[in-house]
């Protein structure tokens, strides 16, 4: 399973109001539950916040990768948010975050979970990719740039 397969255009969100880490995670939880009938927004939020309590998912360079397991998740689900304004995310480098890649996986998805997290980190660790995402001017452009970066990051994965 690759990221491009689990990130449809409608889950690439442009110019999302930030405010705080809690607000962004609440926003995503409500958004994903409205679009995925098997998910409950409060449970998604609780699991994402629970993961943040273990340690911030702010990986540095203005990027966060909040992620959690969910028993009602039948397959991995992702979403990407480009925030209107950077927010404090308790990132490891202390920098505010404006690019948020959220990943929800089934309760038992150990290998898939780690592989997808690795793909996200690989894509988001690229300075040129971050620059291109930050300079996107529409939701469509943001999704296209993200998909292009994912495909460049994982060229050989399609055959495995």
Task: Provide the 10 A C-beta neighbour count for residue 134.
Answer: 14
* CA–CA dist 154, 107 (Å, integer): 25
Average pLDDT score over the chain: 91
Q: What was the pLDDT predicted at 50?
A: 96
Regions of the chain short of the pLDDT cut 50? 157-160
* CA–CA dist 30, 41 (Å, integer): 5
Q: Catalytic residue among 67, 113, 131, 135, which? A: 67
Contacts of 31 by beta carbon, 8 Å cutoff, 6+ apart: 13, 79
Task: Provide the 10 A C-beta neighbour count for residue 138.
Answer: 10
Q: What was the pLDDT predicted at 135?
A: 97
Give yes or no: 135 in active site: no
């Amino acid at each position: 399973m690759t990221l491009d397969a689990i990130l449809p255009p409608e889950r690439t969100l442009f110019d999302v109001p930030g405010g705080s880490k809690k607000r962004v995670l609440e926003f995503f939880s409500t958004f994903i539950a409205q679009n995925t009938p098997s998910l409950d927004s409060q449970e998604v939020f609780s699991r994402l916040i629970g993961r943040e309590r273990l340690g911030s998912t702010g990986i540095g360079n203005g990027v966060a990768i909040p992620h959690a397991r969910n028993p009602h998740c039948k397959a991995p689900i992702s979403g990407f948010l480009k925030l209107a304004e950077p927010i404090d995310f308790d990132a490891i480098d202390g920098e505010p975050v404006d690019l948020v890649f959220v990943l929800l996986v089934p309760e038992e998805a150990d290998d898939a979970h780690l592989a997808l997290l690795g793909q996200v980190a690989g894509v988001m660790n690229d300075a040129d990719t971050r620059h291109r995402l930050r300079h996107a001017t529409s939701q469509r452009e943001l999704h296209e740039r993200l998909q292009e970066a994912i495909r460049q990051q994982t060229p050989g994965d399609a055959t495995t």
